[in-house]
Amino acid sequence: MRTTTTILSALALAAAASAQAADLQPQEPAPVPAEAIDTPGWRAQLTAYAWLPSLDGTIALGDGLPVFHESMSRSDILKDLNGAFFLNGSLRRDRFVLLGDFTWSSVSKDGILPTPIGNLGIEGKVDALFVTALAGYSVIEQPAFTLDLAGGARAWRLKASVDVAALDFRGSKTNSWVEPVIAARARWQFAPDWSLIGYVDAGGFDIGKSRTWQLYGTVNYRVNDQFYVSAGWRHLSLRYRDGSQSIDTDLSGPLIGATYRF
C-alpha cells in the first residue's frame, strides 16, 4: 500500500505532464499573457511553473496482487517530495509556433511491511520524467483574441524502486512510452495588462499503453514587456495499461507561473 501511494504521489507531483501540452505559457501553452502579435521575427519565452494537485486514483500492480484505491491531499503529496523541476519553452514566428516542456520530480516514502517474521521497514522511491514537443498554427490571430491548434508527442518515463533493508532486498521497475498529442489553446486579452487563457489537450488515444487528457484556465498579468505572472487551475487525467498493470488517476489543483520573454 505504501508503494502504491508513492507511485501515485509521483504522478501528482510530476504531471506536467504533462502532460504538455500541459504547457503554461500564453502565446505558448503557459500561464502568462501572449506577446504582441505584430512583433517581427522569432519570439521566445521561458516559463518556470509549479502545480500542486490533489489526487484520486486506482492502481493495479498485476501478478495477482490486489487493486488499490488512493486519495491524497495536497499536503500529503508535498511532504513526500524530494525534488522537482518544471520548465516550459516556446518559439513563435508569424502564425507558427514550436512548444516544449520538461518536467521532472522525485518522491520517496517510508512505511511498514507486515511479514510472518514481524513488521519490516520499507522505502519506496519514484522518479518521473515527462517531455512534450508540439508544433502549432494560429488559426485565429487578432489583437484581443487568438486560437492555436497544435500536435506532437509526449514521452513518459516512470521508475519505481522498493528497498527492504532488513531482507537486503531491492527491486525496481521502469515504464517508458511515447504518445501522440493534439491540443487547442485560446487567449483573450480583456485589458491592457490582463488576459485569460483556456487550454485543452488529449493524448494516447489507446493507440499504445495510455490515454490522457487535460485542461486548464489561467488569469495572467503583465508586469512589464519581459516579465509575466499567472495563476489558475488545472485538471489532468491519466489512464495507463501495460499487461496486467494499470493506473487510473485524476489530478486537480492550483498552479502558478512566471515567464520571461525575449
pLDDT at residue 221 in the model: 96
Q: Buried b / exposed e across 125-164, counting CB within 10 Å, b at 16+?
A: bbbbbbbbebebebeeeeeeebbbebebebebebbbbbbe
pLDDT at residue 176 in the model: 87
For residue 27, what is its C-alpha cell? 502565446
pLDDT at residue 61 in the model: 57
> Element (H or E) spanning 88, and its range?
strand 81-93
pLDDT at residue 64 in the model: 53
- 193-196's contacts with Cβ under 8 Å and 24+ in sequence apart are 193/33, 193/221, 193/222, 194/33, 194/219, 194/220, 194/221, 194/222, 195/26, 195/33, 195/34, 195/219, 195/220, 195/222, 196/220
pLDDT at residue 63 in the model: 58
Residues of the chain short of pLDDT 50, as ranges, are: 1-8, 10-38, 66, 117
Residue whose C-alpha cell reads 488559426 in the numeric block: 139
Rounded to whole angstroms, how far apart are CA atoms 122 and 173?
Answer: 16
Q: Which one, of 209, 238, 196, lies nearest residue 22 by Cα?
A: 238
One DSSP character per residue, 105-152 reads EEEEEEEEEEETTEEEEEEEEEEEEEEEEEEEEEEEE-SSEEEEEEEE
pLDDT at residue 166 in the model: 52
pLDDT at residue 223 in the model: 96
pLDDT at residue 35 in the model: 40
Rounded to whole angstroms, how far apart are CA atoms 143 and 40?
Answer: 15
